[in-house]
Amino acid sequence: MLQVIINLVSGLAGGNAAGALSKNSSLGPVINSIVGLVGGGLGGQLLSSLANSGGKMDAGSIIGSIVASGTGGAILTAIVGFVKNKMA
């Protein structure tokens, strides 16, 4: 359960960071947060399935999860913002 919370919070932060860094593709704070949560969840699940850590919660796996989830949230937010701008 702690792993899921870490993934979601990191994704939320990554989504909002991507929105703040790229004003052109920002979706607004609420949508950036929602898309970041989804991207963080997906990024964290992808990392855990690739790493197959067996549920261990050592410092390396926690840091890896934070980085993967934050990156997943940022990437998904940037992609959705880019697509939204191209459709407008």
Q: Which of 20-24, 52-56, 65-69 has the lowest mean pLDDT?
A: 52-56
Q: At what angle do helices 59-87 and 2-21 cross, to 10 degrees?
A: 40
Q: What is the mean pLDDT of residues 35-62?
A: 82
pLDDT for res 23: 82
| pLDDT value at 22 more than 90 | no
| pLDDT value at 37 more than 70 | yes
**Token match 């052109």: residue?**
24
Q: Give the pTM.
A: 0.86
The 3 state secondary structure assigned to 19-50 is HHHCHHHCCCHHHHHHHHHHHHHHHHHHHHHH
Q: What is the mean pLDDT of residues 70-81?
A: 94
